Structure 1
Amino acid sequence: MKNADKLPSEIINLANKLVNGTINTEEKEQLEAWYLNNATEIPVWELKNENKVQLRERLYQSISSKIEFVPSSRSKSLISFFAVAASIVIACGIGILLWLQTAQHDPIAKNITIVSNGLITKIHLPDHSIVWLKGNSKLEYPNKFSDSTRNVTLYGEALFEVAKDKTHPFVIKTGNYLARVLGTSFNIKESLETNSFKLTVLTGRVAIVSTNNQNNESAQPIIIAHGTEFEITGAKNKPRLMPAPIDEKVMILNGTEYDMNFENVAFSDVKNRVEKKFNVKINTGKTNYSNCFLSADVTDQSLENTLKVISAVVNSQYTINKNQIELIGGGCY
């Protein structure tokens, strides 16, 4: 839109607040006073292949629905100004034309609920994280994560292998706690009925905070390092932080494909375990890998990192096409 730079940034911010419904009485009076002393042009739209009348009408309706009724002598002029100011905000922050063109092709994220019903159920999340849901548990997550965080809700027990992403924290709401990670693996077991909570960290670190204290600015999160277990049993007992017992780790991993530590394992077995964990199919063509044996630990590694290690061992190349993997060349003779 033309003449966007003629509006002070403070006025644009106030107009943005008006549109979002967050403006207070004093700010609204300030905005109205500025407008009464400053003439404003009707917006000029610089659009291509778009119906300008429909676009302008949509914006006017959006603005007018968000402001209180004022005397008719000011209503038209105020709406004209707010249309100008709001269009600047929208054009700068979102891109109104792009939004109009893509909104129908970008559906709102929908929540998905998975229930394990007594069986270990593996779930591949939209960010390629893997969750093994255990016992009679439930996991809720969106079919696509937001631009800022990756939020899920757990009821019961699950083993998480979170895809590494430093710019998008992974947050689990579970029982009376919030757990926050960037990319690590851990097991959570909670029960609101018994007021019990146990978090066992396998790799990396996990920060947790009680939801009862999340509105207290002085409350500090508890950082739990790998190989450590955080447990609380009963509402009156204090939490315990201690090294995770070996037998506890064995029980946590039982029935999952999390452990990918190979010690002189035949290629065919490695291939089967990778396919099962990541829900992929590895095609080797006519290349001979039957004499290959692998010794490598790719636990808590992504599919691509796992393939890099395998390819290095058997001297091959790989390609990924959705859930189809092609290994080319190399081999063991």
Structure 2
Amino acid sequence: MRKIGSIVLVLAALMLTLSACGGGGKKNIAIGPAASETNNVSRLILEAYGLGEGDYKAFQEGFGDAADGVQDGNIDISIGILGLPAASIESLQASTGDVKMLGLSDKAIEHIEKNSEYKRLTIPKGTYDFQTEDIETVTAYAILMANVDTIDEELGYELAKSMIENAGENTHAQAKQMTLENALRGAEGLPIHPGAKRYYEEQGLTVPNEVATLTADASKRKSEFILGTGSQGGTYYPLGGEMANLWNKYIDGVNITNTETGASVENLATIRDGKMDLGMTVHVPALQALRGEGDFNGSEVKNAAFIGHIYPEVVQIVTREKTKIKSLDSLK
């Protein structure tokens, strides 16, 4: 009996050790809200590591709620598409003191680039206080899309103009990315709103995009507009709120209200359904929406047009040192 008891104690100790080393069963991974681009790219990333839905427990949370889960230990890894640096990650570090950022392998990046519009990006060491080495990841662009049935040419012109010329009054860290130099990032392959095209060409830019056809009529313009953003814990919601405030300040006769949503995919679908006027989105699902691919298979978005670039969207994967997770490879 004594020998059996000793074996049991040894096995228990071994299980505790495995758990402390990142083993011990499926990990809880926050992959972003359903109907969001975060959710789509998270699944693509995990697929690149040979991980299917049965290999982990998915939490479909916005990054704010996911960060809370990482902080209290209920979520092991959170995947987000965020501005750089992300205030929510800095806040998580301030609360826990042991945030660890996971990079992507060359093989995983190759898989992602082959199967999406995302491209490799290096997050330089020191971008965050806790970051002691370069992190390899992928990036896309956050852009603004407009409903061509409600945003007339003159309003599209004013929206694009304000994004560039009043960005200095926007206190959000990502607002510095809204420059004339960056204005057409993420626009490739998308129809551009004729008002935005006119503004950019007046500023000396060459705009090769197909021009969207509008049904919106300035003489019948409504006064209340809806801007779809993302979750409150992410970048879209606070940045979109400041953008809306500046539009309301500088564009006469309109009131634009930012609303919390599931972000990219939901915003594009809601524009398609005529229930949203403006939507923030990653350029990748915008291309899919136009082509009727991915989440938009058989239900393409025909009434959305590019207004302007907002900021680079960087995939950032975080855990805590206490999880002992060194890389996504260790989850196999």
Higher percent of residues as helix: 2
Higher percent of residues as strand: 1
Shorter-chain TM-score above 0.5:
no
TM-score norm. by structure 2 comes to 0.24
| Higher alpha-carbon Rg | 1
Higher relative contact order (CA 8 A, sep 6+): 2
TM-score norm. by structure 1 comes to 0.24
